[in-house]
Amino acid sequence: EGQTVQFQLRDAASASEEFNALLTADHTRHRHPPLGALMFSCCGRGQGLFGKANHDAGTASARLGAIPLAG
């Protein structure tokens, strides 16, 4: 009694939208562009979810520009 149960559904469009929102929010916090970035993405956020490999890395590179990206 009193416990919460949540059901989760994997959705590529929502996952991509949230990732872009996080990149935008982080970008607005800094006065200077980043010199590099570390990204740790779950294996479940790859081709099986988005239909193409390296979705998150590609999105981060496109949004952050030509900086070193590792993780």
Q: Read off the pLDDT of residues 17-54 as tens digits, 9 standing for 90 and up.
A: 999 999 998 877 888 888 999 999 888 899 999 999 99
Domain holding 42, by residue range, is 37-71
11 located within any domain: no
Burial of 60: CB neighbours in 10 Å, binned 0-12, 13-18, 19+: buried
Q: How many structural domains is the chain composed of?
A: 1
69 located within any domain: yes
3-state class (DSSP) for residue 38 = strand
| pTM of the predicted model as reported, rounded to 2 decimal places | 0.77
pLDDT given for residue 53 in this prediction: 92
67 located within any domain: yes
28 located within any domain: no
